[in-house]
A and B are shown apart, each in its own frame.
Chain A
Amino acid sequence: MKEKDLHNELNKLAPELGKLPKEEGFRVPEGYFDQFSDQLMERMHQDSDTDIYVENTSEKIVQLRPSRWRYAAAIAILVLGALWGVNQYIGNPAIPLNQDPLAMLSASDIDQYISSNIDDFEDELLINEQDVSSNPFDGIDFNNEAIDSYIDENILDDLDENSLNEFL
């Protein structure tokens, strides 16, 4: 419907309203519409669902979903890392392929590793791996004097007054 028809329709229905100008009196901040697209793009850039990667603001904005790119980059890094590791392994003549790499470690290295990472080991694994063929207390003299001395040096200082009373 043309504007004239609309005006006629309005005049017939509501002559008082038809006399009023259509200007509304609303204003917007200066430059609002000029800046709106940049303002919106900025917000969309911050929102991962609508992220728009600004490659060159004057020319081009490439729409990406960076979360996907991050996943892709992470996978690429992992693959490259794995390839590098295999490459290193194959290319290193100091470690023959048919030799167990653990065999290259000294006992003290292994002890140190286990001490540092003791929490990572399951109790069951530690028990199963324990050498039970020999008595670990062999050679230790468990006389009363030795026990008293051990308690004095290692336990008494750690006890609070209540525990000490209970203990005594």
Chain B
Amino acid sequence: MNTSTQSMKERELIALLQSGKNQDLAFRELLNQFQEKLYWHIRRMVIHHEDANDVLQNTFIKVFRNIKHFKGDSKLYTWLYRIATNETITYINKQKRKMATGIDQEDGSIAAQLKADSYFDGDEAQIKLKAAIDTLPEKQKLVFNMRYYDDMTYLDISEVLETSVGGLKASYHHAVKKIEHFIKTH
């Protein structure tokens, strides 16, 4: 499938979603196309499956409510990533507030959490990499994940995070260097 066909299909999908005619079918198509990508993007940030599921649902509900405002200034997938990213950050901040007030208590390091997670069966190297990523500030974490795992271009990441490409390159380089250092020293 070439790029022009993809963008035409994308335009058709957006038109259906915005028109209200067969919106249900278009929405299911949107889910089929993007649910997995967005799920993994969210899961890498929130770690646990249940949390990722909640955030993914919230993301698509927000997409459904706001699709009429999508003007096509960016790619559909970067727009979806932006919503997913915002929902994820909102969720993480809520969790942090709950933990700060003692409503929710999550004990232990990221390694301990992953080992206790029934939906994680990674080895020690994978746990170490997750622990290294966990040391990064949120924005660097996002940039690293999108570049390293999703192979996204800096331009697309800049659309998602609404930051300059230069700033993103610097963030990614810092993130990679920190992770490399963590891997070497742990």
A43 to B43, alpha carbons, bound, how many Å?
20
* B contact residues around A28 at 8 Å (CB): 39, 49, 119
* B contact residues around A3 at 8 Å (CB): 151
A1 to B168, alpha carbons, bound, how many Å?
15
| Chain B interface residues (CB < 8 Å from chain A) | 20, 22-25, 28, 31-32, 35-36, 39-40, 43-44, 49, 53, 56-57, 60-61, 64-65, 114, 119-123, 125-127, 129-130, 147-149, 151, 153-154, 173, 176-177, 179-180, 183-184
Q: Which residue of B lies closest to A7 (CB)?
A: B151
* B contact residues around A39 at 8 Å (CB): 57
Partner of A17 from B28, B61, B127, B183 at Cβ < 8 Å:
B183
Contact present for A22 and B65 (CB under 8 Å)? no
Contact present for A16 and B184 (CB under 8 Å)? yes
- A-B contacts, 24 of them at CB < 8 A, read A1-B151, A1-B153, A6-B147, A10-B148, A10-B176, A13-B180, A14-B180, A16-B184, A17-B129, A17-B176, A20-B183, A23-B126, A25-B114, A25-B127, A27-B119, A29-B49, A29-B119, A37-B28, A37-B31, A39-B57, A40-B61, A50-B64, A52-B24, A61-B24
A148 to B120, alpha carbons, bound, how many Å?
91
Contact present for B126 and A24 (CB under 8 Å)? yes
Query: Smallest Cβ distance from B92 to chain A, in angstroms?
Result: 17
Contact present for A36 and B35 (CB under 8 Å)? yes
Known contacts A6-B147, A27-B121; A20/B129 CB under 8 A: yes
Known contacts A22-B148, A24-B44, A62-B24; A33/B39 CB under 8 A: yes
Contact present for B61 and A47 (CB under 8 Å)? yes
Q: Which residue of B lies closest to A36 (CB)?
A: B35
Known contacts A6-B151, A22-B149, A26-B119; A50/B126 CB under 8 A: no
* B contact residues around A24 at 8 Å (CB): 44, 122, 126, 130, 149
A63 to B18, alpha carbons, bound, how many Å?
12
Contact present for A63 and B179 (CB under 8 Å)? no
A128 to B24, alpha carbons, bound, how many Å?
63
Query: Smallest Cβ distance from B126 to chain A, in angstroms?
Result: 4
Contact present for B36 and A33 (CB under 8 Å)? yes
Contact present for A44 and B61 (CB under 8 Å)? yes
A23 to B36, alpha carbons, bound, how many Å?
15
* A contact residues around B57 at 8 Å (CB): 39-40, 43
Interface set, chain A 100-119, CB cutoff 8 A to B: none
* A contact residues around B121 at 8 Å (CB): 25, 27
A6 to B173, alpha carbons, bound, how many Å?
12
* B contact residues around A29 at 8 Å (CB): 49, 119
Partner of A63 from B20, B32, B153 at Cβ < 8 Å:
B20
Query: Smallest Cβ distance from A7 to chain B, in angstroms?
Result: 10
A63 to B61, alpha carbons, bound, how many Å?
13
A68 interfacial contact with B, CB 8 Å: no
* A contact residues around B28 at 8 Å (CB): 37, 61
Contact present for A43 and B179 (CB under 8 Å)? no
Partner of A25 from B120, B149, B180 at Cβ < 8 Å:
B120
Contact present for A25 and B177 (CB under 8 Å)? no
Known contacts A60-B25, A63-B24; A14/B176 CB under 8 A: yes
